[in-house]
Amino acid sequence: EAQVTQNPRYLITVTGKKLTVTCSQNMNHEYMSWYRQDPGLGLRQIYYSMNVEVTDKGDVPEGYKVSRKEKRNFPLILESPSPNQTSLYFCASTRRGSSYNSPLHFGNGTRLTVT
């Protein structure tokens, strides 16, 4: 089954404790992206990657890091989480350069709480 898998689904942590949210896709997609969803603010892009070893900032990259060492994986790293990073996070992927026949596929989300 074609899917984007995020782990964990729920995560509660404390300020300053480094964490990684993993994302993996099995569709051989070149493009991968991370979004955060907050009430009243919709989906905001954090980082995206056009291919292996190619990453770029989205609209709200502060406080986050990403890496793309393999095509299928795109982990989101919070080196020193803060309470304002409490949010619902989504990973997504699609074929690069294609829109009409290749929708953005989303994972089921990771709900992060930073206390």
Of 89, 93, 91, 95, the residue nearest 105 (C-alpha): 93
- The distance of closest approach from Cβ of residue 51 to other proteins in the complex, given in angstroms and rounded to an integer, is 11
Nearer to other proteins, 16 or 103 (CB): 103
Q: 100 by DSSP, 3-state: which?
A: coil
Establish whether the linkage from the previous residue to 83 is cis, with ω within 30° of 0.
no
Smallest distance from other proteins to CB 13, Å: 21
Q: Which residues bind other proteins (CB under 8 A)?
A: 4, 31, 33, 40-45, 48, 50, 56, 58, 90, 92, 94, 96-97, 99-100, 103-104, 106-109
Cβ-based nearer residue to other proteins, 44 or 65: 44
Smallest separation (angstroms) from other proteins to the CB of 25: 12
Shortest distance (Å) from residue 109 CB to other proteins: 6
Nearest alpha-carbon partner for 89 in 79, 78, 102: 78
> Cβ closer to other proteins: 14 or 27?
27
CB burial of 68-97 (b: ≥16 within 10 Å; e: otherwise) equals beeebbbbbebeebeeebbbebbbbbbbee
